[in-house]
Amino acid sequence: MSTRNREIHLAARPQGWPTADNFRLVETEVPTPGPGQIVVRNRYVSVDPYMRGRMNDVRSYVPPFALDAPLDGGAVGEVVASEAEGLQPGDTVLHGLGWREYALLDARAARKVDPDLAPVSAYLSVLGMTGLTAYAGLLDVAGMKAGETVFVSAAAGAVGSLVGQIAKLRGAAHVVGSAGSAAKVERLRALGFDAAFDYHDGPVRDSLKAAAPDGVDVYFDNVGGDHLEAAISAMKVHGRAAICGMIAQYNDTEPPAAPRNLALVIGKRLTLRGFLVGDHGHLRDEFVREMAGWLRDGRVSYDETVVDGIENAPEAFLGLLRGENLGKMLVRV
Amino acid sequence: MSTRNREIHLAARPQGWPTADNFRLVETEVPTPGPGQIVVRNRYVSVDPYMRGRMNDVRSYVPPFALDAPLDGGAVGEVVASEAEGLQPGDTVLHGLGWREYALLDARAARKVDPDLAPVSAYLSVLGMTGLTAYAGLLDVAGMKAGETVFVSAAAGAVGSLVGQIAKLRGAAHVVGSAGSAAKVERLRALGFDAAFDYHDGPVRDSLKAAAPDGVDVYFDNVGGDHLEAAISAMKVHGRAAICGMIAQYNDTEPPAAPRNLALVIGKRLTLRGFLVGDHGHLRDEFVREMAGWLRDGRVSYDETVVDGIENAPEAFLGLLRGENLGKMLVRV
């Protein structure tokens, strides 16, 4: 095997929108495993919106990325060297050390997956954290019930597109998605959304009102800002919002003013609940079983936008923040 | 009995802060009950922050007050004439037609109360909607558990002072209240709050951090704005906010910008839930039993600020919005 490893370091913390200058491609040697460790040749690494927050030097639910050190995140690849029981070269594993070609990690931090059950990239998207985020947020956090109306923002993204499809499969009466281009809106219709709009076409509040004239029971928020404000206005009595992300403001240097209509939560008895998928691991088995069935039956589709080469991971991440992806944004190593 | 009745009409809808000109004292005749109806001589009428919202001509959870018609709201008084089964002159009843000396209503819209169990005014405060609001919001909506830290704003008000005391009685480890004067802060300490601050003394965020350095599990919001923003900053992982009122912004003509830190709900997995006491009637019996016991044992104190004369009801309401009350603001008729 090659002895050269390449990885992406955080060269500088972005102020506002990140740029290529915030990243650095670094060449190292492929590491050698110690006792209990494995070395994984990554095949796909994930870039996700939440990573933007980790680039700031602030305490959050996960520690910030360190400067002049490799970034990390979800990855899937093959074991190429092992000093651990239970994992052999050739095994495919899911782990948390992305943004690099070769990863050295404790075997306990890797989860073996079946490459014959699904394309290995699916373990980073529809069958992985992405899918569980959609499933847990919609059904557990927001408690969606059959017959309800659901609105999801960033609906052509990895999580959003699954939220809408799971909602329909679980009996939602009306599912609305917002996205950032006409092509994405068209894709949402093909995925079975009952209504979809391009948020550039006018105030979100007006577009949502037209798409869900009778109001919204459940809002799955990936965007924040004007989307959340519009959803609060549109929500019916006892509506629930699962707050998954606020990508609209991740690059803001000033705190956002919205939502300005938060007082509506009282009269409409709304619940806004933030969540992280890590709190919902108890649903993983149920989720995998149900999702695998839907995939087998062709009832769920998922999109991937794949960028080749670890050297292009920063550009993939920047493209994600600009909304250039359809579905899951991945880097093929 | 007198044949003269006096009542307060809404003369004009306030823009921003209401003034005396928005109200009109109107003399009418004491009405005569029809079949199934009673006439009540009101003894106490309630003025509440939520009434400000009903003075606007907007759809909300209760219809707006009509112009040139009497205002309404909680009241307690004695039946003086009855054409209904089950209610006799002399009975004390709780009902919804305040802001007037004599009320004509269907007997079904009145609830008989025991004037010997508690001062009749208590049915508008500690034993009534006010007390149930505190009880349901803290225990049911926010799900406070023993050992937690609780923050309540407008803590010297009718609801807030009960929230703090119920929290302590139910085992909260640390209870913090904010109020609008040094005298109120002193009163909170006397009521058993572990810490209290005057929100005029500095940024709420700083005062709250000093009063609850280890963070807050439960926030009971009566104020909104900077209080809610400070609470979101102070809340621990899995914190819950019961949103009861946002008095800080009821008179705003422009929508408020806060909270600017709402994105924190994700990483901290916070739940913000608006509520109305009307959804929690199933707790009424349990509440009355528990609160009556606390009152009997002298473990709960409640304050009332009483203004005499129906002609002074507008001034009582305006004083409430200015925070001039300690505990429940009532008009004695």
Q: Does A61 touch chain B (CB under 8 A)?
A: yes
Q: β-strand B195-198 against A4-10: which pairing, if any? A: unpaired
Q: What is the ipTM of this complex?
A: 0.90
pLDDT in tens, B41-74: 999 999 999 999 999 988 766 789 999 999 999 9
| Whether B151 and B164 share a structural domain | yes
Q: Do A274 and B266 touch (CB under 8 A)?
A: yes
* Burial of A29 per CB tally in 10 Å (0-12, 13-18, 19+): exposed
- Residue A253: predicted pLDDT: 79
Do residues A109 and A143 both lie within one domain? no
Substitution target from B265, B270, B277, B279 for chain A, most A beta carbons within 10 A:
B265
- In this structure, the answer to whether residues B133 and B119 fall within a common structural domain is no
For residue B289, being part of any structural domain is answered with: no
DSSP A14-42: -SSS--GGGEEEEEEEPP---TTEEEEEE
**Both B134 and B273 in a single domain?**
yes
Q: Is B247 on the interface with A (CB under 8 A)?
A: no
A230 and A181, same structural domain? yes
Pair (A177, A274) in one structural domain: yes
- Tell how strand A174-179 and strand A23-29 pair up: unpaired
* Any B CB within 8 A of A332 CB: no
| pLDDT score of A1 | 55
Put simply, whether B206 touches A (Cβ < 8 Å) is no
Strands B111-112 and B149-152: unpaired
Q: Which helix (H) or strand (E) holds A286?
A: helix A284-296
Domain shared by B196 and B265, yes or no: yes
Amino acid identity of residue B30, one-letter, is: V
- Tell whether A223 lies on the interface with B, counting CB pairs under 8 A: no
Alpha carbon distance A26, A102 (integer Å): 12
Tell me if chain B has a CB within 8 Å of the CB of A236.
no
Average pLDDT in chain B: 95
Smallest Cα distance from B139 to chain A, Å: 16
**A273, B272: Cβ pair inside 8 Å?**
yes
Query: Amino acid identity, residue B150?
Result: V
**Residues of chain A neighbouring B271 (CB-CB closer than 8 A):** 271-274
Buried b or exposed e, range A317-331, using 16+ CB within 10 angstroms: bbbbbebebbbbbbb
Shortest alpha-carbon distance between residue A277 and chain B (Å): 10
Q: Are residues B268 and B315 in the same domain?
A: no
Same domain, B165 and B254: yes
- B235 and B218 within one domain: yes
Q: A266: domain range?
A: 129-278
> What local confidence, expressed as pLDDT, does residue B133 receive?
97
**Omega prior to B259 cis, within 30 of 0:** yes
CB contact at 8 A, A45 and A333:
yes
Instruction: Determine the pLDDT at residue B2.
Output: 65
User: Do B270 and A273 count as a contact with CB atoms less than 8 A apart?
Assistant: yes
Q: Which tokens hold the place of A198?
A: 């391009």
Q: In a structure prediction context, what are the per-residue pLDDT tens digits for chain A, which is 333 residues long?
A: 568 999 999 999 999 999 999 999 999 999 999 999 999 999 999 999 999 999 998 876 678 999 999 999 999 999 999 999 999 999 999 999 999 999 999 999 999 999 988 899 999 999 999 999 999 999 999 999 999 999 999 999 999 999 999 999 999 999 999 999 999 999 999 999 999 999 999 999 999 999 999 999 999 999 999 999 999 999 999 999 999 999 888 888 777 777 899 999 999 999 999 999 999 999 999 999 999 999 999 999 999 999 999 999 999 999 999 999 999 999 999
Mutate to test the interface with B, among A205, A246, A269 (most CBs of B within 10 A): A269
**Cβ within 8 Å, pair B255-A260:** yes
When computed from its CA atoms, the radius of gyration of chain A, rounded to whole angstroms, is 20
Sheet strands (E) in chain B: 4-10, 23-29, 37-46, 75-82, 92-95, 102-106, 111-112, 149-152, 174-179, 195-198, 216-221, 235-243, 271-274, 304-308, 328-332
In which residue ranges of chain B is pLDDT below 50? none
Structure tokens that stand for A116 in this block: 């014959």
Tell me whether A112 touches chain B (CB under 8 Å).
Answer: no
Amino acid at A254: E
| Chain B residue with the nearest C-alpha to that of A256 | B260
Q: Considering all CA atoms of chain B, what is the largest pairwise distance in Å, rounded to the nearest integer?
A: 64
Q: Smallest Cβ distance to A279: which of B264, B269, B279?
A: B269
Token digits of residue B157? 């008000």
Does A277 lie at the interface with B, CB-CB under 8 angstroms?
no
- Domain assignment present for A162: yes
* In-domain check, residue A294: no
CATH of the domain at B198: 3.40.50.720
In a domain, A88, yes or no: yes
| Residue B98 sits in the same domain as residue B155 | no
Interface contacts (A, B; CB < 8 Å)? 90
- Tokens found for residue B279: 């959804």
User: Residue B61: its pLDDT value, please?
Assistant: 67
Q: Does A215 touch chain B (CB under 8 A)?
A: no
Both ends of chain A: CA-CA distance in Å?
A: 15
Report if residue B258 sits inside a domain: yes
**Looking at the structure, do residues B118 and B174 belong to the same domain, yes or no?**
no
CA-to-CA distance for A178 and A102, rounded, in angstroms?
37
Please tell me the total count of domains within chain A.
2
| Token pair of A147 as six digits | 């017959």
Q: What is the pLDDT of residue B249?
A: 83
pLDDT digit string (tens) for B248-274?
A: 888 887 777 778 899 999 999 999 999
CA angle B314, B317, B318 (to 5 degrees): 85
Question: Which chain B residues are within 8 Å of A261, Cβ to Cβ?
Answer: 255
CB of A53 within 8 Å of a chain B CB? The answer is: yes
Q: Which residues of B touch A257 (CB under 8 A)?
A: 257, 260
Chain B residue numbers with beta carbons less than 8 Å from the beta carbon of A245 are: 266
User: CA B303 to CA B98: how far, in whole Å?
Assistant: 20
Q: Tell me the two tokens of residue B92.
A: 């004390």
CA nearest to B265 within chain A: A274
The runs of H, that is alpha helices, within chain B are: 51-54, 129-135, 158-169, 182-190, 204-211, 225-234, 264-267, 284-296, 313-321
What amino acid occupies position B65?
A: F
The answer to whether residue A291 sits within a structural domain is no
Domain assignment present for B149: yes
Name the minimum distance, in Å, from the CA of B236 to any CA of chain A: 11
The Cα–Cα gap between A131 and A159 comes to 6
Residue of A248, A241, A243, A291 lying closest to A123 (CA atoms): A291
Put simply, the answer to whether B274 touches A273 (Cβ < 8 Å) is: no
Instruction: Give A278 to chain B, closest Cα distance, Å.
Output: 11
Residue A264 counted as domain residue: yes
So what's the pLDDT on residue A254?
79
CB B294, CB B169: distance < 8 Å: yes
- CATH code: domain of residue A36: 3.90.180.10
